Amino acid sequence: MSARVGIHDLAVATAAHVLDLGDLATAAGIDPAKYRVGLGQEQMSVPGPDEDVVTMAAAAAAPILARHGADGIRTLFFATESGIDQSKAAGVFVHRLLGLPASCRVVELKQACYSATAALQAAADMVARRPEDRVLVIASDIARYDLDSAAEATQGAGAVAMLVAADPAIAEVEAAAGVFTADVDDFWRPNDSATAVVDGKLSIGAYLDGMIGAWDDYRARGGVAIDAIDRFCHHQPFTKMAVKAHRRLGEHVGVDLGAESMAASTGYNRRIGNSYTASLYLALAALLDTDDDLAGRRVGMFSYGSGSVSELFTLVVAEGYRAHTRGAETEALLAARTPVDVARYRELHAAAASLGSHDDAEVAQESAGPFHFTGIAGRARQYRRA
């Protein structure tokens, strides 16, 4: 890319409810330290009946449009592994809810937790070719596993929206990138299942293999040496996984990377839980909002999607980026979630799994967010703006 292209704005959203993992551990007769220390997780966001990936995606993108308007947005990429239809892109619903122009292509991308990175890279290439255009990239997911399963504590829900543009106000996407793909049955969600299937031990190994493979390819493709990267963000199915990955990368390159170079990136994920495609970019949001001044510093980004596809690339943080971050808004969003007890959480989990598309159904508004899923009519999902 000849022009500077990257993330011009970034905003996040999550679900309306929150479950304290200490309560979940106590109800299961488990030491809460297993979740808080072993997994590095404190809370998980829980969607209400009127929330899904569409409502969270629109809520994440709305502040960006309020700040910048829709002019020049020629593409909306929606990355998710919590798809709501086998044909229609979830982003088409978001397109209407946000009032985007008809002259805007909309595409949904899927590859487990990785596809937001594919969307970001495609967006950057589009803008490099036509610098007057802008691309809206949205990652939105709900991580849902079976009740009483080993993965239950790693559920969550969240969305991140990014405006990709020339001369970005937040961070430039650098050209070098390393990729690694391997066919691994570590995690998947069959078409007839509302919850994912996961082999935890295999997934951790595949994640680490993917990171090393992507790093080696990154260096072979002209990427900078490890000592030229100041901070790191890793995909976080749970935040302790990012710690493991950071340590493993250091071992591979023969240096002590130090926990301080990635610690700030875990702040939001440990409170939201796993958000699949949005996870890496929630890590970036936390880093930008809470680390020391990052202007001019390089951030290593590792993206992993089970199955599996991995990518490692870098960003360079722009001068003056702090004027464009949204730390106070994100903190207010997290604080506004309604706490639920374990019984209510289980009710919400069961209701989400049981909702089909064969019968018409109305869903009452429960959350206080700006967008709502209102039910099924003629087997089609219905949404409205509050």
Residue extents of the structural domains in the chain: 5-385
Q: Give pLDDT, residue 1.
A: 44
List beta partners, residue 361.
376
Q: Give pLDDT, residue 188.
A: 84
What distance in Å separates the CA atoms of residue 384 and residue 375, rounded to the nearest whole number? 10
List beta partners, residue 11.
161
What distance in Å separates the CA atoms of residue 254 and residue 233, rounded to the nearest whole number? 19
Residue 100: alpha-carbon gap to chain centroid? 22
- Sheet strand arrangement including 43-46: 43-46, 17-20, 338-339
List beta partners, residue 58.
none
Coil, helix or strand at residue 19: strand
The token pair that represents 210 in the structure block: 């993917």
Residues labelled catalytic: 81, 113, 235
What distance in Å separates the CA atoms of residue 330 and residue 351, rounded to the nearest whole number? 28
Look up the pTM and report it. Answer: 0.96
Each residue's pLDDT, cut to its tens digit, for the chain (386 residues) gives 457 999 999 999 999 999 999 999 999 999 999 999 999 999 999 999 999 999 999 999 999 999 999 999 999 999 999 999 999 999 999 999 999 999 999 999 999 999 999 999 999 999 999 999 999 999 999 999 999 999 999 999 999 999 999 999 999 999 999 999 999 998 888 888 888 888 888 999 999 999 999 999 999 999 999 999 999 999 999 999 999 999 999 999 999 999 999 999 999 999 999 999 999 999 999 999 999 899 999 999 999 999 999 999 999 999 999 999 999 999 999 999 999 999 999 999 999 877 777 788 899 999 999 999 999 999 999 999 99
Residue 39 is given by DSSP the state I
- Peptide bond preceding 279: is omega within 30 degrees of 0, i.e. cis? no
Residue 274's closest CA among 178, 196, 326?
196
**CB burial of residue 181 (10 Å; 0-12, 13-18, 19+):** middle
CB distance 145 to 154 below 8 Å = yes
Report the DSSP pairing between strands 134-143 and 338-339.
Answer: unpaired
Coil, helix or strand at residue 49: coil
Amino acid found at 295: A
3-state helix, strand, coil in the chain (%, to 5): 40, 30, 35
The token pair that represents 94 in the structure block: 């978001």
Phi, psi of 29 (to 5 degrees): 70, 30
CB distance 133 to 127 below 8 Å = yes
Domain covering 5-385 assigned CATH 3.40.228.10 in the classification: no
